[in-house]
Structure 1
Amino acid sequence: MEAKDVHNIEDARELIEERGLSHIKVGVFDIDGVMRGKYMSKEKFLSSLERGFGFCDVVLGWDVCDQLYDNVKYTGWHTGYPDATVRIIPDSCRDLPLENNGLLFLAEFVGEAEAICPRGVLRNVIKKAKALGMQIETGFEYEFFVFNETPESIREKRYQSLKPLGPAEFGYSMIRNSVESQTYENLLQLCEQMDMPIEGLHEETGPGVLEAALAHDDALASADKAALFKTYTKIAMQKEGKMATFMAKWSPDYPGQSGHIHLSVRDLSGAPMFYDENKPDNISDTMRHFYAGQQKLMPELLAMIAPTINAYRRLIPGFWAPTEASAGVDNRTCAIRLITGSEHAQRIEYRIGAADANPYIIQAAVIASGLWGVENRAEPEPLVEGSAYEHRFPNYLQLPYTLWDAAQRLKKSQIARHYFGDVFVEHFSATREWEEREFRKHISDWELDRYFEII
């Protein structure tokens, strides 16, 4: 039996026995999309398949640097950081080719914690879609920079004068991907073996930046693959003595790293719902309402889409990132690119997302806003032709400029509360406010250089 053949608890038991494994790896994704987990003994794991197991709920109560949130209700010193129940997902089974062909299983929080578990939030949005007769398929595209550095060297250099995989811009370079073919081939093979196949991998424009397009799948499976891809790309690079970063914008000199999402919708029988040969650009009413909802709610849900301080460094004109909730047909200057053509290729590319977003949370926002558009028969703004950067947009399509402003918009959103629940909106908004407050404690080099002597 292979890992991809595991569909239920009995299959998982059979494969573990067949391989004679003494320990199995289990991972969950936290609020920021960072994978947390541990090795479990065979006996503990097999018993947990039936009943779940306790995982310290601090995973939902700290930031990317393991600093404890002081402003959330769900967990904290006031609750004593107890265990929360975690359910192992049998059909998430993956081989670990970088770890002597061990096995990895994903898990998700259940019970009270499910309301703020990123995977649980997305799963509930997908249920709403199915209730409306829609199946959502998505595929993630990621840009990421690779450096000939280690976790130790980047700290020694204080993140300055880093050596990228390539010395300068050379987009789609056949020279670079041939010279570095071993790195490319290692990543392609790893992703095949771990059931997160890459449809395309190439050099982007910027020193050492790559772009990977993951194969599309059902929305929940697609988010699993995206989250695993980010984690195991970093692992694969570090095992080669390199580092990959998915920061939204690591340098002011180069475009930011995107995390675009391609999305299509089928009805419950499998028929495409975005294509209508009798409509302009073959855009069906369902597709029109869907992207109109995404467009209208983008400013309101931006904290889920651009969830870090750094994400807002990317949203500036002229760097291949949208700055308003714009839409256009095959227009890469827009936040929403409508890809038209054949019945099965017709889709939406949601281009506002950066590589640093939590795949589960951003996808929940992308889908829910589209559902709202369909349910309310929303109508889009006029499509943008030419450069969206030169287009004037009404105020209600302007995006928040900071994470703090975006968090306030999300916290006040009744639509967000309807689709994601009050508990999630309160918790996630508070975590973004925390992120902003932590940032404001920092004195930057720019401030010291500007003010120390002169002011």
Structure 2
Amino acid sequence: MLQARDVKTVADAKRIVEERGLSHVKVGLFDIDGVMRGKYMSKQKFFSALDDGFAFCDVVLGWDSKDQLYDNVSYTGWATGYPDAPVRILPNSCRDVVDEPKQLIFIAEFAGAAEQVCPRAALRKVIEKAKAMGYEAMAALEYEFFLFDETPDSIREKGYRNLKPITPDFFGYSIIRNSVHAELYQKILAMAELMDFPIEGLHTETGPGVLEAAITYDEAEAAGDKAALFKTFMKVLAQRNNMMATFMAKWSGDYPGQSGHIHLSLKNIADGSAVFFDDNNPHNMSATQHHFVAGQQRLMPELLAMFAPTVNSYSRLIPGFWAPTDATWGVENRTTALRVIPGNSKSQRVELRLGAADANPYLAIAAALGAGLYGIEHKLEPEPQVKGNAYEQIHAAELALPKTLWEAAQKLKQSTAAKLLLGEPFVEHFAATREWEEREFRRHISDWELQRYFEII
């Protein structure tokens, strides 16, 4: 019997469906915000789609995370009538589905004109650039997320207030917590193995009900798939167990935000050697790693919208809460935006600590990798590394990060480097979606404003 992770070709995909006697399979793709959209597809339709592709309404690229239609994008909209766009199924993305015995899910991605604004295609474009430069990019993501003893109904009944985390108080790296809740941890780890996004480490973080999962590293495109599926099915697993998982950047002003850290390294395609490792240099940093870090640092303000894509993201980027506020770098320094991790030829890497858990993983990896490649291509040198507490130091003005999503969207729109790396259609489309997100926020009145101004002003 063929196993899901052994499926590589169209023929393999058809064979495993036949062997399992499935009448339907799941097919899903990821929208601009990294939300998985899809459906059950009959075996006959699935086989046809494997051979010739299929069509999916392009509204998936034209609406926000609440299914509200963008009014400021040119790719799709009422003017075009929201037609179907061509989609291809990726046979090698085959996975078993947690809690659905024998069921399979396949990732799809947009083709044709829609490919220009497809998030997964944006990452592939950067990966192809890396290959053209002689590099294979490796990546891994870490996610912090909060778990609550709530349901989709209960959080709405409570108006998203006074929610109950699964555990109280601050207790990072707790053996007590992961032992008391051993069944939950085992379910998460088992799901990750079953669905081929294995977890290297899983532990409590600082805050009530918060966990951190480090997904095992892989080639960059596969790492994007693993991260996107983890976020999706972690929510599924939680809700099937009468809990809720959130990957919001910051759900409460009382607790640290949720990060989505990105670890990156490069291999030489020619011989498989580590590009970043050079034990003749301080911190084992090769000249190429210096250029890579410099590119990430230089372009970080321009690409911030891809790491911090929601209004809520900017509530996390404040001093003292383990999130960087400037485009800084340091060696083993967790107060900087970029943390160089010295190691051996297998472990030398750079961690981008700027990203939040709410980012679309395909776009976050694309931005982090693309910026590094830009640095290599232009032989950039980084600013002097930060030693000590980066929050307490004054940094160069050009290292300052945008303070709002609107400002970040304007930086992205104006970025020549972003257009070179990702294509002008993608940059224009994504920047417009972030402008929409900010405008949607401005249409609403917060509790803070009512409490502050209603009676007194």
TM-score interval, smaller chain: over 0.9
Q: Which amino acid is the alignment partner of residue 116 of structure 1? A: V
- 1:143-158 paired onto structure 2 within 5 Å: 143-158=144-159
Equivalent residues, number:
455
What percentage of aligned pairs have identical amino acids? 64
| Structure 1 residue 341, shift from structure 2 partner | 2.0
| Structure 1 residue 337, shift from structure 2 partner | 0.3
Q: Which amino acid is the alignment partner of residue 106 of structure 1? A: I
Aligned to 2:83: 82
Matches of 1:279 and 1:170, distance apart in 2 = 39
Matches of 1:316 and 1:446, distance apart in 2 = 19
Aligned to 2:303: 301
Which ranges in structure 1 are unaligned for 5 or more consecutive residues?
none
Q: Which amino acid is the alignment partner of residue 140 of structure 2? A: G
Q: Which amino acid is the alignment partner of residue 121 of structure 1? A: A
Matches of 1:279 and 1:151, distance apart in 2 = 53
Answering whether residue 39 of structure 2 is matched by residue 13 of structure 1, we say no
Matches of 1:414 and 1:167, distance apart in 2 = 47
Aligned to 1:363: 365
Aligned to 1:161: 162
User: Stretches of 4+ moved more than 4 A in 1?
Assistant: none
Matches of 2:446 and 2:250, distance apart in 1 = 16
Matches of 1:364 and 1:97, distance apart in 2 = 28
Matches of 2:200 and 2:306, distance apart in 1 = 26
Aligned to 2:291: 289
- 1:356-395 paired onto structure 2 within 5 Å: 356-395=358-397
| Structure 1 residue 47, shift from structure 2 partner | 0.5
- 1:16-415 paired onto structure 2 within 5 Å: 16-268=17-269, 269-415=271-417
Q: Which amino acid is the alignment partner of residue 46 of structure 2? A: F
CA contact (8 A) 2:273 2:345 kept: no
| Structure 1 residue 109, shift from structure 2 partner | 0.2
| Structure 1 residue 105, shift from structure 2 partner | 0.2
| Structure 1 residue 101, shift from structure 2 partner | 2.4
Aligned to 2:427: 425
Q: Secondary structure at the match of 1:301?
A: helix
| Structure 1 residue 127, shift from structure 2 partner | 0.2
Q: Secondary structure at the match of 1:212?
A: strand
Q: Secondary structure at the match of 2:105?
A: strand
Q: Which amino acid is the alignment partner of residue 323 of structure 1? A: T
Matches of 2:200 and 2:237, distance apart in 1 = 18
Q: Which amino acid is the alignment partner of residue 332 of structure 1? A: R
| Structure 1 residue 270, shift from structure 2 partner | 1.1
> Structure 1, residues 226-262: CA drift from partner, whole Å, max 9, x if none?
0000000000000000000000000000000000011
Matches of 2:343 and 2:28, distance apart in 1 = 39
2:447 counterpart (439, 445, 448): 445
Q: Which amino acid is the alignment partner of residue 440 of structure 2? A: E
Q: Secondary structure at the match of 2:230?
A: helix
Matches of 1:341 and 1:449, distance apart in 2 = 52
Q: Secondary structure at the match of 2:41?
A: strand
Matches of 1:191 and 1:96, distance apart in 2 = 10
Using the size of structure 1 for normalisation, the TM-score is: 1.00
Matches of 1:205 and 1:113, distance apart in 2 = 41
Which ranges in structure 2 are unaligned for 5 or more consecutive residues?
none
Matches of 1:291 and 1:394, distance apart in 2 = 16
| Structure 1 residue 277, shift from structure 2 partner | 1.1
| Structure 1 residue 97, shift from structure 2 partner | 3.1
Q: Secondary structure at the match of 2:371?
A: helix
The 10-residue stretch of structure 1 (366-375 or 340-349) with the greater mean CA deviation from structure 2:
340-349
> Structure 1, residues 171-228: CA drift from partner, whole Å, max 9, x if none?
0111111111111000100010000000000000000000000000000000000000
RMSD: 0.5
CA contact (8 A) 2:250 2:315 kept: yes
| Structure 1 residue 305, shift from structure 2 partner | 1.0
> Structure 1, residues 274-333: CA drift from partner, whole Å, max 9, x if none?
011111111001100001100010001101111000000000000000000010000000
| Structure 1 residue 30, shift from structure 2 partner | 0.1
Matches of 2:335 and 2:8, distance apart in 1 = 42
Q: Secondary structure at the match of 2:302?
A: coil
Matches of 2:71 and 2:334, distance apart in 1 = 40
CA contact (8 A) 2:275 2:289 kept: yes
Matches of 1:193 and 1:415, distance apart in 2 = 39
| Structure 1 residue 100, shift from structure 2 partner | 2.3
CA contact (8 A) 2:26 2:106 kept: yes
Q: Which amino acid is the alignment partner of residue 125 of structure 1? A: V
> Structure 1, residues 354-389: CA drift from partner, whole Å, max 9, x if none?
000000011110011000000000000111111000
